[in-house]
Amino acid sequence: MPDTDVTDTSARMTGTVPPSKILSTEIPRYAEDYASRLLAIPDTASAVADALDELGVGAAITATDLNPVTNDARMCGPAVTLRYVPLGGDVTGNRDSRRGTTFGDRDLYGLGRPGDVAVMDCSGSSSGAVMGALSARWAVKAEMGGCVVDGAIRDTASIIASGLPVWSAT
C-alpha cells in the first residue's frame, strides 16, 4: 500500500516545502521487477508511445518537447512530481522571493524511493534553471531512477558525469 502520510517520509525530506503544500504522497507502485522488464524491451519509449496511441490516450511526449542530456540515457519508474508555481509571472520568481521554494526538488527526492523518476513541472520556462549539479547530486544520493524537467537545466557536464538520466525542455 502506498505511503499516505507525509510523516512517513519526513526523515528523508529537508523540510523546505511545508507539509501543507504537499498534495499527496501516494505514489502508485507495481512489482519490483516491472521497470527492469520494461527497460529490457528495445526502444521502450517507442513501444510505449505506440501502445498509448493505439489506446487513444495520445499522451506521448516527443523528443521535440523533452531532450535527453545524453543520447544513451534510459529510465523507467514511478513518477514523483513537483510543480513549480510562478510567483510574479515566472518560475524564477520563486528563487527571487527567497521563500525557499527554489529547493523543492530536495523534498521531491525525499518523497521518492530508489528507482523513482523525479518529474519537475516548470511550465516549459527557460528563464531560470531549476536543476543543476547540486540537484543531480541530491538525486543520485536518493537513488532516483532519473529526472524529467519541463524547464531549464544547467551544469550539464556535471549532470552527465553523475550518470543520472535527465531529460529537459531546454
Range(s) of the domain holding residue 114: 6-168
Q: Please indicate, yes or no, if residue 84 is contained in any of the structural domains.
A: yes
110 vs 101 pLDDT, higher one: 110
Kindly tell me if the per-residue pLDDT of 120 is higher than 50: yes
Q: What is the DSSP string of 24-50?
A: --------TTHHHHHHTSTTHHHHHHH
Q: What is the pLDDT of residue 9?
A: 58
Residue 119 belongs to domain with CATH number: 3.50.30.40
159's enclosing H/E stretch is helix 156-162
As a whole number, mean pLDDT of residues 88-103 equals: 55
Cell of 164: 543520472
Q: Please indicate, yes or no, if residue 126 is contained in any of the structural domains.
A: yes
Whether the Cβ atoms of residue 117 and residue 37 lie closer than 8 Å to each other: no
Strand, helix or coil at 16? coil
Cell of 34: 516491472
Q: Please indicate, yes or no, if residue 1 is contained in any of the structural domains.
A: no
Mean pLDDT of the chain: 81
User: What pLDDT, in 10s, does the model give residues 13-29?
Assistant: 666 677 777 777 778 88
Q: How many domains does the chain have?
A: 1
Kindly tell me if the per-residue pLDDT of 94 is higher than 70: no
Sign, CA torsion 92/94/100/104: negative
Q: What is the pLDDT of residue 58?
A: 73
Q: Please indicate, yes or no, if residue 36 is contained in any of the structural domains.
A: yes
